């Protein structure tokens, strides 16, 4: 389970860049804008709309970031131990580490430009992708579908009276599988259209995630 949680953390780290900017609100009374009346709550924006074109660009952006993160991690190897040592070499290593972080930020911005994606695009798409792909990946890791098939096969071999005794267990496992397949939580939070678009690149997104996991764990091929 620890490996599963680590993997999901990598997915979140890989999916989104840091949100450092907020979209400015239009000034009250601006052309095309209405000022809410006294006591009237302001309308909240809905979830980001993921299009097929933006998602395709995002998949390419993720692949570009594989090399960026790999280079960053190499630049930070052993940095913690050196800094703790408090030596001149440690300070030099710290400066090199900061350079690596700065280079990562520049490469990230360049990757967004090449993909024709804004920071808001990357963060918006990443939020939906993380909700969908983390659920899918967790389902694969826990192998609920395979376990359900085994449980159903075992139930089928039992006498009728014993089959009934397993019905609750089989139903519970089937509900778990359906939850991972249907992605009810993600659909509720982000809408069917967003989830369905992300699923068109499910295999590519999971492949990118798995490759990034290898980068973070030092096992990249």
Q: Given a cut of 50, is residue 122 above it in pLDDT?
A: yes
pTM of the complete model: 0.67
- Contact indicator for 66, 212 with CB cutoff of 8 Å: yes
Alpha helix stretches (DSSP H) within 51-87: 52-76, 79-85
| Six-digit token string for 159 | 């006498």
Tokens of 156: 């089928």
Residue 130's pLDDT is 93
Position of tokens 């998949």?
59
d(CA 126, CA 14): 9
Residue 118 predicted with pLDDT over 90 = yes
* Spatial distance between the Cα atoms of 172 and 57, rounded to a whole number of angstroms: 39
In tens, the pLDDT along 155-198 reads 999 998 888 889 999 999 888 888 888 998 899 999 999 999 99
**Mean pLDDT of the region 14-25:** 48
> In this model, does residue 103 exceed pLDDT 80?
no
Q: 58 is written with which tokens? A: 């995002």
pLDDT band at 16 (very low <50, low <70, confident <90, very high): low
Share of the chain above pLDDT 90, in %: 35
CA distance 174 to 196: 22
Overall average pLDDT of the 64-92 stretch: 66
End-to-end CA distance of the chain: 24
pLDDT-derived band at 78 (thresholds 50, 70, 90) equals low
Read off the pLDDT of residues 27-76 as tens digits, 9 standing for 90 and up: 433 444 444 444 444 445 678 999 999 999 999 999 998 888 777 766 56
Q: What is the pLDDT of residue 197?
A: 97
Report in angstroms the alpha-carbon separations of 69 from 73, 74, 133, 162, 191: 6, 9, 20, 54, 31
List C-alpha distances in Å: 101 to 3, 73, 97, 115.
26, 9, 6, 21
Residue 91 has pLDDT above 90, yes or no: no
Separation CA 113–CA 215 (nearest Å): 23
Distance of CA 63 to the CA centre of its chain: 14
Does the pLDDT of residue 23 top 50, yes or no? no
- pLDDT confidence band for 93 (50 / 70 / 90): low
134: enclosing H helix or E strand? helix 119-142
| Closest-CA residue to 82 (of 90, 72, 91) | 90
Distance, in Å, from the CA atom of 51 to the CA atom of 44, rounded to the nearest integer, reads 21
User: Closest Cα partner for 97 from 110, 107, 83?
Assistant: 83
Q: Does residue 109 carry a pLDDT above 60?
A: yes
């Amino acid at each position: 389970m620890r490996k599963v949680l680590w993997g999901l953390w990598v997915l979140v780290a890989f999916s989104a860049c840091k949100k450092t900017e907020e979209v400015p609100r239009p000034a009250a009374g601006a052309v095309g804008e209405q000022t809410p009346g006294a006591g009237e709550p302001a309308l909240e924006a809905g979830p980001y709309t993921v299009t097929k074109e933006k998602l395709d660009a995002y998949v390419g952006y993720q692949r570009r970031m594989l090399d960026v993160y790999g280079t960053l991690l190499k630049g930070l190897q052993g940095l913690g131990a050196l800094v703790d040592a408090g030596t001149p070499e440690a300070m030099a290593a710290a400066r090199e580490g900061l350079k690596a972080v700065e280079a990562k930020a520049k490469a990230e911005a360049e990757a967004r430009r090449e993909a024709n994606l804004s920071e808001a695009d990357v963060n918006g798409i990443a939020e939906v992708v993380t909700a969908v792909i983390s659920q899918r990946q967790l389902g694969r890791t826990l192998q609920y579908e395979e376990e359900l098939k085994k449980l159903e096969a075992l139930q089928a071999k039992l006498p009728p009276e014993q089959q009934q005794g397993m019905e609750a267990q089989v139903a519970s496992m089937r509900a778990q599988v359906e939850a991972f397949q249907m992605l009810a939580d993600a659909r509720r939070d982000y809408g069917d259209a967003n989830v369905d678009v992300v699923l068109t690149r499910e295999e590519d997104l999971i492949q990118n995630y798995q490759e990034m996991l290898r980068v973070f764990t030092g096992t990249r091929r």
